[in-house]
Copies of this chain bind each other. A is one copy, B any other.
């Protein structure tokens, strides 16, 4: 299949590597020529072209750009997309993007996709052929895409062994605000505290251990990616920020007043929630033999 990847950063190049391994031809599009050369160098794309040519020739166009750029590019792509071809995006927010596409006459040729496979790094040089391997991927508002469009996307996603989930785009954005956008926001808040620059805490780098490191790991993520996500999911995000701040206030009062029983109850809930997530992420997975460059389906 001829695939055009728009945006040759970490997500785009990792996808390109996996698709090339499965025998597809991958063309890159990027406004940054340095990214395109790096993408070629690491094998994330086969070649690169201008936007119009690359879109018109493709059977599948994948938007691997920040969600504000997805919103700007999706309709121009649909405008010139060939009959029978499909465009999918890889954005972390879905409601605003789907809503922007809903009135386009070629809406059926768009599939809204969110792969749950980000890392805190960015750029083509951070790409990895196995970034998506066995990760979950959400397809939103599938009933608005045509069956042939869905099948093209499903084939690709299952080839690279992602595990597909269907969701409504509004439900997606609300739940992702809790499990992804809020943790990102609070890591930025912690890691940007002015106290890390104060003379009082001049030893913080020396003293900070693994606990601090995992707490601010997401603080490394790029502003270009996350500011548009916060923008597009503002409503749900702010609702959860408020709930989180209310919880911080409650726990702070428990510390102030030595309310050990109430504190203990909250910590037990935290222990349990961690275990639930940890169990799911680490439970044994079925063994799937690797067939190299041949197409392997996995569900």
Cβ of A220: which chain B residues have Cβ within 8 Å of it?
Answer: 270-271, 274-275, 278
Complex CA distance for A208 and B176, rounded to whole angstroms = 8
Interface residues on chain A, size class: 35 or more
Please tell me if the beta carbons of A188 and B243 are within 8 angstroms of each other in the complex.
no
Stretch at the interface among A69-77, A145-153, A253-261: A253-261
- Whether A270 contacts B212 in the complex (CB less than 8 A), given A205-B276, A230-B255, comes out as no
Write the nearest CB–CB distance from A152 to chain B, whole angstroms: 24
Q: Assess whether A191 is interfacial by the CB under 8 Å rule.
A: yes
Cβ contacts under 8 Å, A269 to chain B = 191-192
A207 partner, pick from B179, B196, B241, beta carbons under 8 A: B179
Q: Assess the B175–A207 pair: CB atoms within 8 A.
A: yes
A135 to B211, CA, bound (A): 13
Interface of A is mostly: helix
Contact (Cβ within 8 A) A270 B192: yes
Residues of the B chain whose Cβ atoms lie less than 8 Å from the Cβ of A103: none
Minimum Cβ distance to chain B for residue A197 (Å): 8
Cβ 8 A contact of A274, one of B136, B219, B275: B219
**Closest partner residue, chain B, to A187 (CB atom):** B215
Copies, count:
2
Say how far A283's CB is from chain B's closest CB, in angstroms: 11
Q: A241-B248, A244-B189, A248-B241 are in contact. Are A117 and B209 (CB under 8 A)?
A: yes
Which residues from chain B contact A240 at a C-beta distance below 8 Å?
A: 193, 195
Quick check: which of A29-37, A54-62, A94-102, A231-239 contacts chain B, the rest being far away?
A: A231-239
Give Cα distance in the complex from A263 to B183, angstroms: 16
19 example contacts (A-B, Cβ-Cβ < 8 A) are as follows A116-B207, A116-B209, A119-B210, A179-B209, A180-B207, A186-B215, A188-B251, A188-B267, A188-B270, A192-B269, A214-B217, A215-B215, A216-B274, A219-B270, A221-B271, A223-B268, A226-B267, A230-B263, A238-B256
The 8 closest A-B pairs by CB, nearest first: A191-B270, A219-B270, A183-B215, A223-B267, A192-B270, A220-B274, A192-B266, A192-B269
Given contacts A175-B204, A191-B270, A227-B263, 4 further A-B contacts (CB under 8 A): A180-B209, A188-B267, A211-B218, A217-B274
